[in-house]
Amino acid sequence: MFNHSDLARLQAQSLKMQGFIRQQTYSPEMEKTLRRFSSWEVAELIFKMNPSTLRGRLAADPSLPEGLVEEDGRQRWYTLEEINELRRKIKVKGRSLMPKRPAGKRAIRAAIANFKGGAGKSTVALHFAHAAALDGYRVLCVDFDPQATLSHSMGLSDVAEEFTVWGIMARDLIRETERMNNAPAGAESGTTLPRRTLPAAVTGMGLSDLRVADFIKPTSWPSIDLVPSCANAAFVEFASAQYRYLNPEWSFFAAVSRYLDQLPDDAYDMIIFDCPPAIGYQSMNAVFASDVLYIPSGPGYWEYDSTTSFIGQLSEALEDLGRFKGQTPGSTGVDKAFLDLKFLLTRFEPNNDLHRAMQSAFGQVFKSHVAEHPIEMTRAVEQSGRFLSSVYEIDYRQMTRETWRRARASFDRAYEEFRDTLTDAWDKVED
Ligand SMILES: Nc1ncnc2c1ncn2[C@@H]1O[C@H](COP(=O)(O)OP(=O)(O)OP(=O)(O)O)[C@@H](O)[C@H]1O
Ligand SMILES: [Mg+2]
C-alpha cells in the first residue's frame, strides 16, 4: 500500500534528478545563460536584411558593436544587448529597425489560455516571448500555472511562494479590503459595506510591504522579465476560495490586472500570460487582465471538443462577473471585453489529412478568429527542450539545420501574426 509519504519520497527522488539535469545543462555558470546569435541570424532572421548589407554597415562604422569572432573566424556572434544596440543605430533604406509600439500607451497584454492540458500553452508562451524579445520588444511574462513550466523553462526553479501570483492576489486582498474599509459610506455601489477584518494569518505575512517590482524577476534574456510561479502554488486555488469568503466584495479576478496597472506605462511592451489547464482563480485573473485572448488547441477532434467546452465555461465565468457591481464609483458592473480573440492550432502536421480537416472545421466555425499560421509539430521542440531551451535559444549547430530552420520558420510565422494582432489591438487600448 502506498500513501502520501510514498508520493513525497518519489517526488524527492525526482527533484534530485531535475537538479542534476539543470546542473549538467547550465554548467559551468550554474544558471541559465543566453547564447550569442550569429551575424547570419541577425541579418536574415532578426533584422530581415541582406547579410552583405549588414556586413557593409558594420565595416563602415567602427562605433557599432563588434560581436565575437568564432574560432574558425567566419561568423561574428552577437549578444542580444549588442543586437539591440545595432537595432537602435542602423536604418535600412531609411526604415528604422525598432519594433512598432504606439506612443503613450501601456504594455499590451495577451493571455495564452485553454483548460485543455497539453494544448501547447507554455510552449507558445515561451516561444512568443523569445520571438518578441528578438524582435526588439521588452517583454514581461506572468506564469499563472502552479506547474511552473514557463518559470522552469526560463531558468527560475527556486522561487518563494510569496513572489508568485498568489502573493500578488493576497497583497491585493489586503489593500482592497483596507480601501473598502476606508471608503466613505455609500461610495461603493451606493450602499454601505460591512467592515471586514482579515485574520493575522493573511495580514501578518508581510505582503503589504512588498513593492510592485519585488514580484518581477530577471531571466537569462536581458529584455524578458518574469513574475514566476513555483510548484507549491497549487494551494492558491484553496487559499483564494478562503479569501473570497473573508471579503465577498473583493473582486478577486481583478487582482493581477490592478497589479499590472501599477507598472509604469513604458516599463514593458508586451505582457504574456501562461495559464494553467483549468478555469480557476488564477486563470480568471489572467483572462481578466488580458487585452487579447490567444487559445492554443491541438489539431485533433477531442481537442476541438475540449476547446469548445472551454469557451463555453469561460463565457459563463465572465458573465458571472457582471454581479460585481460598483467596484468603481458609478460603474454598472464588470463586463470584460477583449480587444481580440484568436484560436491557434498547435502541433499541426501539414501533411496529415485529419489535421487539415480539423483546421478547416476550426475555420468554418471560428472564421477570422482562427490564426492563419498554425504551429507545426516539430522534433525541434523536443530536442531543444532536452536542453531546457526553446527553439530560439538552442544553437542551430546542435541539431539538423533543416529541422531547426523549419521549426523556427513555423514559430516565426505564428509569432508575426500574434505581433500584428497585438499591434492592431494596441491602438484601441485606452491611454
Ligand atoms: N509544436 C510542437 N511540436 C512538438 N511538440 C510540442 C509542440 N508544442 C508542444 N509540444 C509538446 O507537447 C507537450 C505539451 O506542451 P505544453 O507544455 O506547451 O502544453 P500546455 O498546454 O502548456 O500544458 P499544460 O496544460 O500542462 O500547461 C510538451 O511535451 C511539449 O514539448
Ligand atoms: Mg503549460
- The pLDDT tens digits of the residues spanning 253-290 come to 999 999 999 999 999 999 999 999 999 999 999 999 99
> What strands lie across the sheet with 37-38, from one edge to the other?
37-38, 76-78, 68-69
Residue after which a domain boundary falls, among 45, 73, 96: 96
Whether residue 286 is found in the same domain as residue 386 = yes
Query: If you measure from the C-alpha of residue 274 to the centroid of ligand 2, how many angstroms do you get, rounded to a whole number?
Result: 7
Residue 103 falls inside a structural domain: no
Answer yes or no: do 88 and 230 share one domain: no
User: Cα 216 to chain center, whole Å?
Assistant: 13
Contacts of 271 by beta carbon, 8 Å cutoff, 6+ apart: 107, 108, 109, 110, 139, 140, 141, 142, 260
| Residue 21 in grid coordinates | 539535469
Q: Is residue 188 part of a domain?
A: no
Find the 286 Cα to ligand 1 centroid distance in Å: 19
Measured by CA distance, the residue closest to atom 3 of ligand 1 is 377
Closest approach atom of ligand 1 to CA 410 = 1
* Chain segment 331-351, per-residue pLDDT in tens: 556 889 999 999 999 999 999
> Best substitution site from 381, 390, 412, 415 to test ligand 1's pocket, by max atoms within 8 Å of Cβ?
381
What is the distance in A from the centroid of ligand 1 to the CA of 383? Answer: 13
Closest atom, ligand 1, to C-alpha of 123: 18
Q: What is the pLDDT of residue 185?
A: 66
d(CA 364, CA 368): 9
The answer as to whether 26 is a domain residue is no
For residue 328, is pLDDT > 70? no
Shared domain for 232 and 378, answered yes or no, is yes
Closest CA to 336 of 317, 312, 352, 349: 317
In this prediction, residues 169-195 reach a mean pLDDT of: 80
- Ligand 1, atom 13, residue with closest C-alpha: 118
Centroid of ligand 2 to alpha carbon of 149 (angstroms): 6
pLDDT band at 210 (very low <50, low <70, confident <90, very high): very high
Q: Are residues 227 and 89 in the same domain?
A: no
Ligand 1 atom closest to 277 (CA): 25
* Apex 414 CA angle, 408 and 415, nearest 5: 80
pLDDT digit string, tens, across residues 54-107: 999 999 999 999 999 987 777 899 999 999 999 999 998 889 999 999 999 999
What lines the ligand 1 site, CB under 6 Å? 117-123, 145, 147, 149, 277, 346-347, 375, 377-378, 381-382, 385
Q: Which residues form the domain of 59?
A: 37-96
Q: What is the mean pLDDT of the chain?
A: 92
Supply the pTM of this predicted model: 0.94
Q: Which atom of ligand 1 is found nearest the CA of 275?
A: 27
φ, ψ (nearest 5 deg) of residue 95: -90, 130
Q: Is residue 189, in this structure, part of any structural domain at all?
A: no
Task: Output Rg (C-alpha) for the chain, integer angstroms.
Answer: 23
Q: Last residue of some domain: 48, 74, 96?
A: 96
pLDDT, tens digit, for every residue of 308-325?
999 999 999 999 888 776
Question: 396 and 358, same structural domain?
Answer: yes
- Interior/surface letters 273-308, b for 16+ CB within 10 angstroms, e for the rest: bbbbbebbbbbbbbbbbbbbbbbbbbbeeebbebbe
Whether residue 383 contacts residue 408, with contact meaning beta carbons closer than 8 Å, is answered with no
Q: In CATH, what number is assigned to the domain containing residue 407?
A: 3.40.50.300
Residues 6+ apart with CB under 8 A from 194: none
In the Cβ-directed half-sphere of 430, how many Cα atoms lie within 13 Å? 3
Same domain, 355 and 409: yes
214 C-alpha to ligand 2 centroid (Å) = 24
- pLDDT at 158 (0 to 100): 85
Residue 285 CB-half CA count within 13 A: 30
Does 217 lie in the same domain as 88?
Answer: no
Domain count, the chain: 2
- Find the ligand nearest to 150 CA: 2
For residue range 346-392, list pLDDT tens digits in order: 999 999 999 999 999 999 999 999 999 999 999 999 999 888 899 99
C-alpha cell at 60: 563602415
Q: Is residue 259 part of a domain?
A: yes
End-to-end CA distance of the chain: 61
What per-residue confidence (pLDDT) applies to 201?
85
In angstroms, the CA 151 to CA 377 distance is: 23
160 three-class SS: coil
56 plus 153 within the same structural domain: no
| Better-scored residue on pLDDT, 242 or 263 | 263
Question: Measured in angstroms, how far is the CA atom of residue 46 from the centroid of ligand 1?
Answer: 25
- Examine the fold and report which residue of 62, 96, 130 is the final residue of a domain before the chain moves on: 96
Q: Is residue 21 in some structural domain? A: no
Closest residue CA from atom 15 of ligand 1: 120
132, three cell numbers: 518578441
> What percent of the chain lies above the pLDDT cut of 90?
73
Say how far apart CA 111 and CA 369 lie, in whole Å.
15
Atom 8 in ligand 1: which residue has the minimum CA distance?
Answer: 120
Report pLDDT for 325: 65
The pLDDT value recorded for residue 223 is 98
- Mean pLDDT along residues 111-126: 96
Same domain, 310 and 341: yes
> Cα(296) to centroid of ligand 1, in Å?
10
- The reply to whether 51 and 158 lie within a common domain is no
Asked whether residue 290 is domain-assigned, the answer is yes
Beta-carbon count within 10 A of 51 CB: 16
310 close to 295: Cβ distance less than 8 angstroms: yes
pLDDT higher than 80, residue 28: no
Grid cell for residue 192: 454601505
Contact (CB, 8 A) for 87 and 98:
yes
Q: Which three cell numbers stand for residue 69?
A: 569572432
Distance 276 CA to ligand 2 centre (A): 6
Do 123 and 152 lie in one domain? The reply is: yes
- Best mutation site among 122, 306, 377, 382 for ligand 1, i.e. most ligand atoms within 8 A of its Cβ? 122
Q: Whose CA is nearest to atom 11 of ligand 1?
A: 120
292 and 110 in contact (C-beta within 8 Å)?
yes
Rounded Cα gap, residues 199 and 239, in angstroms: 13
- Is 261 part of a structural domain of the chain? yes
* 50 and 142 housed in the same domain: no
